Amino acid sequence: MLVTAATAVLAAVALIFSLYMAGREPLLAGDFPIDSQLYRYFLDSVRAAPKNFGLVDGSPESAIREETNKLVAEFAVVEKMFDESGLSLANSAKLDLSENLNNRWLVFGNYYQKIGVSKQTLYRTFANSAKRDALFASVYGAEGTKAISEADLLKAFNDNFVTFRAFSDTFRTPDGSGNISDQEKKNLQTRFNNMLSQTQSGKDLDTIFSSYIDFENQHLPMQILEKNEQAGFGTDFFAKVQKIPHGDVAVIESGSDIHLLQREGEITTDSEYFLQYRLITLKILKGGEFNKQIADDAAALELVHRETVQRRDARAVL
């Protein structure tokens, strides 16, 4: 009996020592163990982009650690909620997860290894995000406990996204140092309005585009733009596109550019773009509510950690 007890004690000591040597000494978020690799990953995320977490560049270390602790706690909440929900990740989600993981590791693998974060740990963080999306969909999706109607979802999509094909030119000089002359601007406007007249006479937009760039058989891809993601366009571009009837072609000016643009036909709940952006649209409507629930549950957890571990991990990701 004494031999068995002594063996158990030695085994426990050996386990703790091996965890310490491997850099995985456990932390606890409630009753959920968080190892040092996970902590380092989240600490590095906050340090690398403090503005993404409500901080400013040069924030004190105490503020960075506080935000890190919130992320660690939310990770634990999502893992526990997902396990208790009985949900599982779809095969398509797993394939996307693996592809995204491999792409990230290909670029940043050496860096993560340098700060003591393995590919397996990175997988856990990616999987946690996928689980969070699955939990969100189980609440607000079509079969969810607080399902959003198709009509409300479609309205939100049309309020927040526009789909179109377009080609553009600029009123700026070729070197970008200033604006073209008034006469050059007038000539460009006339040329675009003449091309608009050609579409109204039945000429295909792709044919006009090919002629404009003097390169045969070019195809204008469909683009989708979110209202709050207008980088590369003028600030009034989204609103101007929204005013164009579905399927129509128009010339619009926005910022320093001029566009010949065809808006996509009317979007329905069966449309490719609506289905593709369904989850994003749901998040626009209910993401804040769901995130607050996760944050509140995380704030209620007791986060227990050892200062020696935290200082060691902080030094590792400097």
Residue ranges per structural domain of the chain: 24-147+279-297+305-316, 155-263
Task: Report the pLDDT value the prediction gives residue 22, as an integer from 0 to 100.
Answer: 47
Look up the CATH architecture of domain 155-263.
Answer: Roll (3.10)
Residue whose entry in the numeric block shows the structure tokens 């929204």: 242
- Interior CA angle at 25 toward 22 and 27, to 5°? 150
Task: Report the pLDDT value the prediction gives residue 216, as an integer from 0 to 100.
Answer: 77
Task: Report the pLDDT value the prediction gives residue 17, as an integer from 0 to 100.
Answer: 42
Look up the CATH architecture of domain 24-147+279-297+305-316.
Answer: Orthogonal Bundle (1.10)
pTM summary value = 0.79
Distance (Å, whole) CA 265 – CA 48: 42
Split the chain (318 residues) into runs of 10 and give each run's mean pLDDT: 53 46 61 90 94 92 92 96 95 93 96 95 96 96 92 95 93 89 95 94 91 84 88 87 95 94 93 93 96 96 73 68
Task: Report the pLDDT value the prediction gives residue 317, as an integer from 0 to 100.
Answer: 73
3-class state of residue 159 by DSSP? helix
* Total Cβ atoms within 10 A of residue 174: 7
Task: Report the pLDDT value the prediction gives residue 182, as an integer from 0 to 100.
Answer: 94
Distance (Å, whole) CA 202 – CA 313: 65
